[in-house]
Homo-oligomer: A and B are copies of this chain.
Amino acid sequence: MARIVMKFGGTSVADLDRIRNVATRVKREVETGHEVAVVVSAMAGVTNQLVKWCGDLSPLHDAREYDVVVATGEQVTTGLLAIALQTVGVDARSWQGWQVPIRTDSAHGKARIEDIDGSLLVERMGQGQVPVIAGFQGVEPVRNRIATLGRGGSDLSAVAVAAAVRADRCDIYTDVDGIYTTDPRIVPRARKLAAVAYEEMLELASVGAKVLQTRSVELAMKQRVRVQVLSSFEDKPGSLVVDEDEIVEQPLVTGVAYSRDEAKVTLRRLPDKPGIAATVFGPLSEANVNVDMIVQNLGTDGTTDMTFTVGKADLPRARDVLEAQRGSIGFEAMLADPEVAKISIVGIGMRSHAGVAATMFRTLADKGINIQVISTSEIKTSVLVGVEYTELAVRALHTAYGLDGPA
């Protein structure tokens, strides 16, 4: 017997038939002898309607009232799923954030969970009842008001609840059936991974494989919550996201990720002196522009070139900020190129093996792909290439690291 938290997203509870389907799945786990708690999102489309109403009334609406309106979406699902569970003979009861309570800070619309009191939930589960908990919401204790965690926050709710009730596993049911070695739309021979380490998942998520919200993976890693990603529409095992110690066979590279959301900026002929990096990146940070990859070339005449990437959406702002600081930074020219893609190989095996990155560079060279920027971390190597090479690069690397499944 295990204690399991099951989380169902908006498409999994989009209508009454799907809610009945969820009830059947929950019932199966209960009948296996597990203690089960469920975390649900709003029915697909509902949140968008509620958000639109708030925006139509005022583009600058009170985030506290936005939370009051939007939190009703999850509340409806909890009541309906509790009824559906009771209808198939499973004892169940709905829980709103303020009832558990799930305590958050006061950052309405993007609140952080501070503390979950799991005692009532554990008590009910012990009595054989299934708590059906509203995801995405909590209560901020100072003014006793509803606070929401921001879009996609139901994953975070599920992981936090799993930690609070010391669950053996947190199953995230979604519309994909697991985590793949790379995007199957680009590489048909991509394979579903049986298990991924937290650290790998973080790197994969941050470079574009958006199956799980980054914050929920961070929380799972911190609280050592074992997460499983699986499909709510098919009966297949999913992918586990767990501590690396649990992963028996560790390949050198676990997956190949890509992102087309970045743009490259190059500053030419900067004065090559101490503190120049701070002069460039200080103003960008103040303007809330996130900088990712950074390369500095050594010059010979007392000047240097600097290249870095920013989010594509931030590019106009980054250019304005740098142009305004041109005098104090002292660069000669600024070049910007949004036509780039970041390709990354990720794997905890890279930590203990040399030469993994070399295979990457050779593979790309063999395909005639020019590498514009390189950046590395303990378990990831990323390169920036021309955006038109995205698919070619991903496919070549997937094959080179032996990740291809059966054709």
Contact = CB atoms under 8 A, between A and B. Distances in A.
B75 A61 contact: no
A65 B94 contact: yes
B64 A93 contact: yes
Contacts of A98: 98
Interface stretch (A78-86, A243-251, A295-303, A381-389): A78-86
| Interface residues on chain A, size class | 35 or more
A54 interface: yes
A115 interface: no
This chain: how many copies in the complex?
Answer: 2
B61 A69 contact: no
A56 B79 CA distance: 13
Nearest to A101: B144
B57 A20 contact: yes
Contacts of A87: 57-58, 61
A19 to B, nearest CB: 7
Judged by DSSP, the binding face of A is helix
Contact of A58 (B68, B86, B145): B86
Contact of A80 (B16, B69, B78, B99): B69
A301 B94 CA distance: 65
A375 B78 CA distance: 50
B83 A145 contact: no
Contacts of A71: 75
A337 interface: no
B72 A58 contact: no
Contacts of A94: 65, 68
Interface of A: 16, 19-20, 50, 53-54, 56-58, 61-62, 64-69, 71-72, 75-76, 78-80, 82-84, 86-87, 93-94, 96, 98-99, 144-146
Kindly list the 5 A-B residue pairs having the minimum CB-CB distance in the complex, ordered from nearest: A68-B79, A69-B79, A72-B72, A65-B79, A58-B87
11 contacts: A53-B80, A54-B79, A54-B83, A65-B80, A65-B94, A68-B75, A68-B78, A68-B79, A69-B75, A71-B75, A98-B98
